[in-house]
Structure 1
Amino acid sequence: MASTQNATAGAPGAALIAPLMARGAGETLMDQIVRSIRARIDDKLLRGGSRMPSIRRFAASHGVSAFTVVASYDKLVAQGYLESRRGAGFFVRERSPLNTGERSAAPMLAAASDPGDPRPLDVVWLIRNLFRAVPMQDVPGSGVLPSEWLDGAGIANALRSVGRQHASLLLNYGAPQGFLPLRQQLQLKLAELEIEAAPHQIVTTVGVTQALDLVAREFTRPGDTIFVDDPAWFLMFGSFAATGARVVGIPRLADGPDLARLAELAALHKPRLYVINSVLHNPTSTSLSAAKAFQVLRIAEEHGFTIVEDDIYCDLHPGSAVQPATRLAALDQLDRVIYLGGFSKSMAANLRVGFIATSAELAQRLADRKMLATLTSSDIGERVAYKILSEGVYRKHLDRVRARLDSVRGKVFRQMERSGLAAGPAPAAGMFAWVDTGIDTNLLAERAMAADILLAPGSLFSPSQLPSTRMRLNVAAMQEPRIWAFLERELGSS
């Protein structure tokens, strides 16, 4: 290197980085350049506004190609370290805490438990912390399986296969109603559940989250009422409230909703929708009995509301041949029931592939509404999901996941009882335990966060959000001894 002096605004520096390492160091020249410049910017050796050497000068100084320099600068622009000024070159971007991205992952969880943060525990609190850089083994409140339980190699193979397709297939918008071969594959999947739905009755979505939002916006106006189970998946409470809807909880029992309360509240509120998990309910992992399923449909008919059956955990259930599983859509055949499904729990959360099955007329209206919101969903993700579903390996993957859950569920429930948690009998399938701690789980979650452990307190699973002694635990994420040590210490001292 000729020099290591800093670049100053308007005057390009000479050599900005330490000598480029041996070419066989296992890192590309571009990555070496990017890492070295990032380090100098992070260490304040290159200050905001400083002009970078021209591409030609940098290439000549370091014995690399102009192409390598361009690619390196472009990557630094994408990462927020540099900015490109037309006709003037590249400059170090002025940086603030908002655009540094807090590069170190270690402080991220600590920030969530900062005692100076006045934010109360609510739905946003849990979602925000679920997306922090926390190891999965320290997130027993999570709603997904550990990544090592999923078929990462299968996803990668499907991505490579899709990537080899003609570029024009990957560069344009997808079909508004969804990738047709995937919808044809979903028709076969639904037929196995005894639900008849042709491809034109299916609309793909960006996960079940978007599916719920589309249906809610189609059916409700500000002031309308939506019924949900209590407890239930917390995210939809805030989503529905944002549309102006009133969210009312129906007490959930071991075999489905409290029918007396459902009928009473339906007469009082005249709801537009009732969102229910029939199979492997979140957070209890219980399932709807056949007797109650018929009664739910009768009450819906009597009071004129539509049922939205969220079956996101469908693939974690071993099937009716092994265990009873009654789906409202199979009984109703998509007359008064809208069926939702997806693959974030069993395939990959990052694919964000969900779907809606309903009548042909409503499917078209929902596809139009989807276009107004996002034009289309990701055709690439849908092609990957289709590849996985259509090649036969997905069934074997599900067999392995269910067997692994079965192998840990009983052990975890026994350990819960020893640790002071009232868990009751273990459900026959699924990943969740809905446990009673005997203390306010908001306080327990706050103490857990201080120990870098993320719990899901029961108050978040009710539309009322009142304090609760319950919490949801993911049995697949209960393998870390320090989680048990924390629970035993806290519950033993309560």
Structure 2
Amino acid sequence: MADIRGRIGAGRLAPNDRLPSIRRLAVELSVSPSTVVEAYDRLSAEGLIRPRPGSGFFVTEAGRTPAPLVRLDPPRAPEVDPFWVARQALDADPGTSKPGCGWLPPDWMPTALLHAGMRNVLRQATSLTTDYGPSRGSAGLRRFVETRLRQQSITLSEDQVLLAGSATQALDLACRLLLRPGDRVIVDDPCYFNFQTLLRAHQAIAIPVPYTENGPDIAAFEAAVARETPRLYLTNSGLHNPTGATLSPQVAFQLLGIVARSDMLVVEDDIFSDFEPEPAITLATLDGLSRVIRIGSFSKTISASLRTGFIAADPERIRLLTDLQVAIQFGGPSQVATEAIQSVLSSGGYRKYLEQLHRRLDTERRATATRLGDLGIHPVLMPRGGPYLWCRMPDGVSSTALAQAALPQGVVLAPGNVFSPSLSADGFMRFNVSHMGDIRPFRVLERALKTMG
């Protein structure tokens, strides 16, 4: 394949040129004819070549290499914006160290449970692997979500949960339903960077409010509401991203009072609930899904590949969100994904996995905080759970410059300003402790800090 692809790319084989016969190319490359047959079949599937019965294989127009019309300038350094960490982490080479990413390493995930769940699914009816998913998603997984929400003291009926393709898709559905261009949305400062990018995609305006160890600054929140008349407040409160803070009951009570008086809605993204040693007081718990829409996911602790999220809200909003999901993708999430996820969740092994995960994160959190402290980098607080440490840089050190210096050395970091709508967090950085188990990130940080110092 590489040889033929190279000939096409170099222009030695042009569109409509006939390729060497299978026997001739096998002799030329000293490989078996079956190897050439497989290569030609793959290139045909890619559309680079096509067979003509009785005549052989020919290069298609898709194989033409377009000549550049203008000389391109050297590539610019990527801007460190809310997309920056996602771009670097998602597209990194396999050997890249990624303490700036938001997920666990593969060897931390419950792969044995997941593989068993996949085998269970594939042994079931063929329709699971061929049909569209139900409009609200798998009934079994919805019942599981409902039960778990009730265990968190959230009162709801069976028609108040909708499964979606991911928490991000669930949030996108909520934004499509609730927002119009120009609407104001209060976000925490700092906040999960994808909140900012999604609001931008919906042409909404993010209004940042400082976030403290106990939740949003209530005085600043109330002032922003009075000044901007926002439509929504978008947050995660159980384990806040990126700070790891937990919303206090006092702040939650005050916040919901402001929301009710101002006729606002709250979208509460709670995808880190399985990282919590004990369930936190959340806005959905206190509100009962009247003004709060709860979003969750299973990608952080089970699989980011078989992505499945959910929305819990009042029945009328669930009805509208269901219709919207059908309009966008004609059905709920993949039944293969939802059934596999349910199989993992309902196994006794998942609870044991979470217990081990909590202990492992606690150990890595303490070890990472100690080693970062030796470099003059200190956590703002020690979270009660989860994979993140939100840390203060040494005086005068820019986390943006530090992240840019680390990237060519094979380390992806998460500088503070990607999380800050006001760009006021350049002296902070988020570390994923599950990716800090080897020495490389610390050595890269040490060298960069010496250079910058």
With normalisation by structure 1, the TM-score equals 0.81
Taking the aligned partners of 1:139 and 1:464, their CA distance within structure 2 comes to 25
**What pairs with 1:17-96 in structure 2 (closer than 5 Å)?**
37-42=1-6, 47-49=13-15, 50-52=17-19, 73-78=40-45, 80=46, 82-84=48-50, 90-92=57-59, 94=63, 96=65
1:153 to 74, 88, 112: 112
2:399 partner amino acid: T
Taking the aligned partners of 1:352 and 1:256, their CA distance within structure 2 comes to 29
**What pairs with 1:62-461 in structure 2 (closer than 5 Å)?**
73-78=40-45, 80=46, 82-84=48-50, 90-92=57-59, 94=63, 96=65, 116-135=75-94, 138-320=97-279, 325-376=280-331, 377-437=333-393, 438=395, 439-461=397-419
The Cα shift of 1:490 comes to 2.2
> Aligned pair 1:464/2:422, yes or no?
yes
Conservation of the 8 A alpha-carbon contact between 1:41 and 1:47: no
The Cα shift of 1:58 comes to 9.2
The Cα shift of 1:39 comes to 4.4
C-alpha spacing 1:230/1:53, structure 2 compared with 1 (3 Å): same
SS in 1 for 2:242: coil
2:155 partner amino acid: E
Structure 2 residue aligned with 1:32: none
Of the structure 1 ranges 261-270 and 393-402, higher mean CA displacement relative to structure 2 is found in 393-402
> Aligned pair 1:484/2:451, yes or no?
no
Conservation of the 8 A alpha-carbon contact between 1:227 and 1:275: yes
Conservation of the 8 A alpha-carbon contact between 1:420 and 1:491: no
Conservation of the 8 A alpha-carbon contact between 1:137 and 1:479: no
Conservation of the 8 A alpha-carbon contact between 1:184 and 1:198: no
C-alpha spacing 1:163/1:89, structure 2 compared with 1 (3 Å): farther
1:406 partner amino acid: D
Conservation of the 8 A alpha-carbon contact between 2:292 and 2:313: yes
Taking the aligned partners of 1:381 and 1:372, their CA distance within structure 2 comes to 21
1:352 partner amino acid: R
Conservation of the 8 A alpha-carbon contact between 2:249 and 2:281: yes
Taking the aligned partners of 2:147 and 2:158, their CA distance within structure 1 comes to 10
SS in 1 for 2:83: helix
SS in 2 for 1:226: strand
SS in 2 for 1:351: coil
- Unaligned 5+ runs, structure 2: 68-72
The Cα shift of 1:253 comes to 0.2
Conservation of the 8 A alpha-carbon contact between 1:214 and 1:366: yes
CA deviation map 1:453-485 (0-9, x unaligned): 111111110123356111111011112212111
The Cα shift of 1:282 comes to 0.4
Taking the aligned partners of 1:450 and 1:319, their CA distance within structure 2 comes to 40
The Cα shift of 1:431 comes to 0.8
**What count of residue pairs does the alignment treat as equivalent?**
436
C-alpha spacing 1:384/1:73, structure 2 compared with 1 (3 Å): farther
SS in 1 for 2:185: strand
1:387 partner amino acid: S
CA deviation map 1:182-237 (0-9, x unaligned): 11111112122122333421111121111111111111111111111110111121
Taking the aligned partners of 1:52 and 1:187, their CA distance within structure 2 comes to 59
2:259 partner amino acid: A
1:94 partner amino acid: G
Taking the aligned partners of 1:273 and 1:483, their CA distance within structure 2 comes to 38
C-alpha spacing 1:90/1:209, structure 2 compared with 1 (3 Å): farther
Taking the aligned partners of 2:164 and 2:345, their CA distance within structure 1 comes to 17
The Cα shift of 1:488 comes to 1.8
The Cα shift of 1:245 comes to 0.7
C-alpha spacing 1:85/1:341, structure 2 compared with 1 (3 Å): same
Taking the aligned partners of 1:177 and 1:407, their CA distance within structure 2 comes to 39
Taking the aligned partners of 1:434 and 1:155, their CA distance within structure 2 comes to 31
- Unaligned 5+ runs, structure 1: 1-36, 99-113
SS in 2 for 1:288: coil
Structure 2 residue aligned with 1:7: none
Taking the aligned partners of 2:232 and 2:52, their CA distance within structure 1 comes to 54
SS in 2 for 1:473: strand
SS in 2 for 1:355: strand
The Cα shift of 1:313 comes to 0.5
Taking the aligned partners of 1:97 and 1:126, their CA distance within structure 2 comes to 32
Taking the aligned partners of 1:478 and 1:70, their CA distance within structure 2 comes to 46
C-alpha spacing 1:425/1:121, structure 2 compared with 1 (3 Å): closer
Taking the aligned partners of 1:394 and 1:95, their CA distance within structure 2 comes to 51
Conservation of the 8 A alpha-carbon contact between 1:136 and 1:477: no
Taking the aligned partners of 2:283 and 2:424, their CA distance within structure 1 comes to 30
With normalisation by structure 2, the TM-score equals 0.88
Of the structure 1 ranges 268-277 and 40-49, higher mean CA displacement relative to structure 2 is found in 40-49
The Cα shift of 1:70 comes to 6.9
C-alpha spacing 1:412/1:72, structure 2 compared with 1 (3 Å): same
The Cα shift of 1:404 comes to 0.7
C-alpha spacing 1:161/1:57, structure 2 compared with 1 (3 Å): farther
2:345 partner amino acid: L
2:43 partner amino acid: L
SS in 2 for 1:123: coil
Taking the aligned partners of 1:137 and 1:425, their CA distance within structure 2 comes to 28
Aligned-residue RMSD, C-alpha:
2.8
